[in-house]
Structure formats: structure tokens, C-alpha cells
Amino acid sequence: MRLITAAISCAAIPILVIFAHRRWTEEIRPELPSWRTGAAFASMFIVLSLWLIQTARWVFLSLNHHFTGLLGADWREIETFLPAYYAYPALPFAFALKGIPRLLLIAAWLFLAFFYRAFWYT
């Protein structure tokens, strides 16, 4: 079940963020104030960067079962739990968007939470 959750969320996150970015740039961005534009972009950046980190960890864990982490064995706790603290600001930043891009980015954030949860015990 964890593998299915990880695969679905890994595939869904970039698709949702790309669709949110396209709708944001084409329809909503010109009418938003600059602080909302910055918060929306920050949310997209955080979600995509955390997705990339977790995907890299998944690939390295699949290739090497004795993988101790991207930063080494002493940093595994930081590497595993610290990105979760970066994900928390992405959700309120996503609320800076309007309409469909807001819903897409919130869905991407939820899939990111599922993606991290799939590797909680590895």
C-alpha cells in the first residue's frame, strides 16, 4: 500500500503544480498584488523542491538498500524530518492564489504529505 501511495503521489505532485502554474500565469497573475504573487510562487517552489528531494531519496533507496542519506548517516534525522517543517509554510502561501490554481496547489501539498508519509518508516 505504501508503494502505491508513493507512486501515485510522486506522479501527481509535478502534474498538479505545473497545471496550477499554467493557470496562475495565464489567468490570475496579472490581477494579483505583488505579495500574493510572491507567496504563490514561493508555495510552488517549496512543493516542487521538496518533491524533488523526496524523489531523489526514493531513487537512492531503491538502488542502494544500505543508503544512509544524501548528507550521510549522522544527518538522516535532519534529512527526513526537516523538510516537513519547510512544507508547513507552503500551505498558507497556497491560499494566496485564487480559484482553480489554489485548489491544485493545495492538492499538490496534500499529495506531498502523503509522499513523505509513505517513507516514514524507511
Q: What is the pLDDT of residues 11-25, one digit of tens each?
A: 999 999 999 999 999
Q: How many domains does the chain have?
A: 1
Q: 18 and 107 in contact (C-beta within 8 Å)?
A: no
Average pLDDT over residues 97-118: 91
Q: 113 and 87 in contact (C-beta within 8 Å)?
A: yes
- Residue 46: its pLDDT value, please? 92
Count Cα neighbours of 66 within 13 Å in the Cβ-side half-sphere.
0
pLDDT band at 45 (very low <50, low <70, confident <90, very high): very high
Q: Determine phi and psi for 119, rounding to 5 degrees.
A: -110, 20
The better pLDDT of the pair 72, 48 is held by: 48
Q: Name the least confident of 36-40, 49-53, 75-79, 96-100.
A: 75-79
Range of the domain at 99: 2-118
Spatial separation of the C-alpha atoms in residues 113 and 50, rounded to whole Å = 10
